[in-house]
Amino acid sequence: MHVMITGAGGMIGRKFAESIANDDRIGDRTVETLTLVDIVPPDVATDFTGTRNVVEADLSNEGVAADLVARQPDVLVHLAAIVSGEAEADLEKGYRINLDGTRALLDAIRAAHETDGYTPRVVYASSLAVFGAPFPDKIGDDFFLTPLTSYGTQKAMGELLLDDYSRRGFLDGVGIRFPTICIRPGKPNKAASGFFSGILREPLEGKEAVLPVDDDVRHYHASPRSAVGFLRHAAALDTQMLGSRRNMTMPGVSATVADQIEALRNVAGDETVALIRREPDPTIEKIVSGWPRDFDVRRAREAGFTAEDSFEEIIRVYIEDEMEGRAPRA
């Protein structure tokens, strides 16, 4: 089996590629070829024992998508995107990368299908930002898409394209609406949600962190480990159970900022929590106020997707995966 990952240099792309290097079985098939695509050559999955291709490419450039699709991967995991805060700040760039790049990729698949019947599994990384307020207490998969950001609008358009091209038989799509991934390792990115990780990651490493919103802000989270699990499961899923509705919200943990901080206290103690500094940011507060808080994900659970059950579990996953099991103790 040939797996291609666009956006392979990003955090989730890197971890997914590394998981394949560690375990090359996806479902009942073996990954024999792994193609990693990003605008900067991704240096990941170097331990992969099969054929490993690294492609430096920007999907929004003319001809790039067709060249990638000509490799005919069996599974194409489309993670390439710019994140929420950057997409909101730079409208043109957001639509060029998040919409035009996605459509170019799907249209290249359509052209290949019409030529020789090529029909790959496409796993599309979407977002909770496709939903807009006012919200019910728990948002189900049948809740209408009314995004309140340009990023959410771009992702919603991608979802509709995935449904339509799957319906027409050009591809076999699975759309994954990721919870906010927490705790993200490494340096902060430009995502408006970055502080959710920062107020945990930095204190766990003995550094000060800035909290730009109130403690009562509630959001929906899953760990990077769960994100990789979503992708692996989607790559091998029997899509007959999905029918024409190919996009699903993944399982996660609904928690307030106060819940996050209390979980951090339970795991790492008061001195670690004391490293969080409150510094309100009206721009971030405005963006976050329009985000959903909790979800009814029965479709995803029925399809076999799983995630953590508590925020304390999310913190412990980070400690195990990124800190070799060592962290400040309560």
Q: What is the pLDDT of residues 66-85, one digit of tens each?
A: 999 999 999 999 999 988 77
CATH of residue 41's domain is 3.40.50.720
Question: Quick check: is 255 in a domain?
Answer: no
pLDDT in tens, 20-41: 999 999 999 999 999 999 999 8
Please state, for a pLDDT cut of 90, what percent of the chain lies above it: 84
> Which residue matches tokens 């799957």?
166
In a domain, 254, yes or no: no
Asked, for residue 308, whether it belongs to a domain, the answer is no
The model's pTM is 0.94
pLDDT confidence tier of residue 291, bands split at 50, 70 and 90: confident
| Phi/psi-derived region of residue 212, left when phi > 0, alpha when psi is between -120 and 50, beta in every other case | alpha
Is 101 contained in some domain? yes
Residue 211 lies inside a defined structural domain of this protein: no
Main-chain phi, psi angles of 306, to 5 degrees: -135, 160
Is residue 241 a part of any domain in this protein?
A: yes
Please name the residues in contact with 182: beta carbons below 8 A apart, sequence gap of 6 or more: 196, 197, 200, 221, 222, 223, 314
Q: For the chain, give me the number of helices (H) and strands (E)?
A: 13, 14
Domain that holds residue 124: 2-180+222-249
Residue 12 forms part of a structural domain: yes
Domain count, the chain: 1
Both structure tokens of 227: 């994100």
Only one residue has tokens 């991934």, namely 181
Contacts of 183 (CB under 8 A, 6+ apart): 197, 200, 201, 204, 223, 224, 314, 315, 318, 322
Share of the chain above pLDDT 70, in %: 98
Report the half-sphere exposure of 189 (CA within 13 A, side-chain side).
19
Assigned domain for 111 exists = yes
Query: Does the annotation count 118 as an active-site position?
Result: no
253-256 β-sheet, strand order: 180-181, 218-222, 253-256
Per-chain mean pLDDT for the chain:
94
Among 151, 165, 220, 318, the active-site one is 151
The tokens of 329 are what? Answer: 């103790």
Picking from 142, 171, 169, the residue whose alpha carbon sits closest to that of residue 245 is 142
Residue pair 19/228 in contact by the 8 Å Cβ criterion: yes
